[in-house]
Copies of this chain bind each other. A is one copy, B any other.
Amino acid sequence: MQNIDPRSIIHAGSIRTFSTEHTQDAAAAASPRQGASSHGTRFDPWMSAYAQRADNLRESEIRALFAVASRPEVVSLAGGMPNIKDLPLRELAEGARKLIEQDGAQALQYGGGQGWEPFRESCCMVMAEEHIKADPADVVITTGSQQALDLVTQIFINPGDVILAESPSYVGALSVFTAYQAKVHHVPLDEHGLVPDALDDHIRHVRAQGGNIKFLYTCSGYHNPAGVPISLERRPQIVEICKRHHILILEDNPYGLLGFKGDIYPALYTFNPEGVIYLGTFSKIFAPGLRVGYAVAPPAIKAKLVLAAEAAILSPSMLAQMAIHHYLRDYDWKAQIEVYRAMYQERRDAMIEALQEYLPDCSYTVPEGGFYTWVGLPEGIDAKAMLPRAVTELVAYTSGTAFFSDGQGGDHMRLSFCYPPPEDIREGIRRLARVVDRERELVSMFGSRVIHQPDFSSNAPQPNLP
């Protein structure tokens, strides 16, 4: 054994020109199974080595549905993929060409962990649409909003801590919260969004039971999956309740600019910038393939988010940041949002009309923005149990159970109108109606197939307390 001699010059790597044959043979001798490791099922030799948190990584229902949705014969009302076919691809292509030709040495290089300052200013310009006056110094660029959810959860959640979330709540957030071993406590929402009085009650209740509430997670705009925004009246009330109880708010707002009538609600952030982390994204107002979102946070939290972001990915993509920066600078991005609004409104209309025609005894929200409607099924029908039968009929949706951390939601499903064209939406609902009809016959013959049927008629805290 010999350590580096600190007093001599060392020539490293003096062995050279190994032939491919030589090393392939060596590798083959050492491990005849190389290249075949993914075939067959076998015992996981690292089973005992995983961290506790690895047990909490679950296959999300959305993920399984990505595979289903990709089959062309299936009408998928399941995913949340935006329809970006109307983007001006030729102009974007020319913009990308110019960007790389003129600024490629910067666009293809590492950048700072917090994100490129001119782009952080652009994000502030977009946020101004929601009446947010943010300082670019308080903005952190993230790899989509999902990364922001991950980083915020990472810096706040010890195993067993409580996160308050709407009932129902975004499945991707629930995945993160579960991965960090948080306990999610659902708070009711109604047609005006999260219910302030219920929030107040639930906070007291959770604390009375010893729960350590770290933050309220809310999708404040056109809600995923419920389709409703928090009303103008309730926004300051909710902020005030959280302020009084010293509870941070994590405001996730991917759909806020996609109100079909151009309604833009002031962000919760505007009412108390020191008590709210605001998350925005370009995935829905521009395109998701660049994976760019942003977080605005009180300065001390922002500093921790930057450190966490650096540990996670070093720095966000300069190419993606500069591409969107140029898009916002060179194109009429607000006109593009108008195009999106009109297109999604037409699809919403197609879905609601089809629901009225084919599923008249289901309840559903009629969203004024966003991508989703939240559909209550006729009594006794379970969304999760029905899903495989729906896929057999070539239509997919997301079971309401995906939007709860505790198995609730089987009496609802989320229908997305964002991706399929109107005629496919109509056909999808027609197929879905056949499935529901058959399901209803089975229920009337053999009784309820509902596995979980929690009481939604009361605002009483649900039994998922810490």
What mask results when residues 323 to 351 of chain A are scored 1 for a CB within 8 Å of chain B, else 0? 00000000000000000000000000000
Are A3 and B190 touching (Cβ within 8 A)?
yes
Indicate if the CB atoms of B290 and A319 lie closer than 8 Å.
Answer: yes
Could you tell me if B313 and A144 are in contact, using CB atoms closer than 8 angstroms? Answer: yes
Please tell me if A210 contacts chain B, counting CB pairs below 8 Å: no
Q: How large is the interface on A (under 10, 10 to 19, 20 to 34, 35 or more residues)?
A: 35 or more
A1-36 interface code vs B (CB 8 A; 1 in, 0 out)? 111111111111111111010011011001101111
A450 interface residue, CB < 8 Å from B?
Answer: no
Q: Are A179 and B53 in contact (CB under 8 A)?
A: no
Is there an interface contact between A37 and B366, defined as CB atoms closer than 8 Å?
no
A463 CB–B CB distance under 8 Å? no
Give Cα A99–Cα B311 distance, bound, in whole angstroms: 31
Stretch at the interface among A109-117, A385-393, A426-434: A109-117
Contact A154 B15 (CB under 8 A): no
* Given A54-B304, A109-B84: A228 and B38 interface contact (C-beta under 8 Å): no
Q: Which of A147-176 contact B (CB under 8 A)?
A: 147, 150, 154-158, 161, 172, 175-176
Q: List 24 A-B contacts (CB under 8 A).
A: A2-B191, A3-B190, A3-B458, A7-B363, A11-B368, A12-B228, A13-B229, A14-B368, A15-B263, A35-B133, A35-B273, A37-B274, A38-B138, A46-B300, A51-B154, A51-B155, A53-B158, A57-B308, A93-B99, A146-B314, A175-B310, A291-B313, A291-B314, A291-B315
Q: Are A131 and B291 within 8 A (Cβ)?
A: no
Find residues 92-108 in chain A having any chain B CB closer than 8 Å to their own CB.
Answer: 92-94, 96-101, 104-108
- A1 neighbours in B (Cβ, 8 Å): 188, 190, 195, 197-198, 459
Q: A266-B27, A300-B44 are in contact. Are A18 and B147 (CB under 8 A)?
A: no
Kindly state whether residue A289 has any CB partner on chain B within 8 Å: yes
Residues on B with beta carbons closer than 8 Å to the beta carbon of A307: 57-59
Beyond A2-B190, A18-B232, 19 additional pairs, beta carbon < 8 A: A2-B195, A4-B376, A6-B456, A9-B365, A16-B259, A26-B266, A30-B236, A30-B270, A31-B271, A31-B272, A37-B273, A39-B135, A46-B300, A46-B301, A51-B154, A54-B154, A57-B311, A63-B113, A175-B310
Question: Which residues of B have CB within 8 Å of A138?
Answer: 37-38
Q: Which 7 A-B pairs have the closest CB atoms?
A: A13-B368, A35-B133, A44-B300, A27-B270, A108-B287, A97-B97, A108-B289
In the assembled complex, the CB of A26 is this many whole angstroms from the nearest CB of chain B, namely 6
Q: Smallest distance from the beta carbon of A172 to chain B beta carbons, Å?
A: 6
Would A100 and B93 be within 8 Å (CB), given that A30-B236, A38-B137 are in contact?
A: yes
In the assembled complex, A409 has its CB within 8 A of some CB on chain B = no
Q: Does A123 contact B (CB under 8 A)?
A: no
- B residues in contact with A84, CB < 8 Å: 104-105, 108-109
Contacts of A2 in B (CB 8 A): 190-191, 195
A34 CB to nearest B CB, Å: 5
Judge whether A264 is part of the interface by a CB distance below 8 angstroms.
yes
Report the Cα distance A369→B12, complex, angstroms.
9
- In whole angstroms, how far apart are the Cα atoms of A315 and B66 in the complex? 11
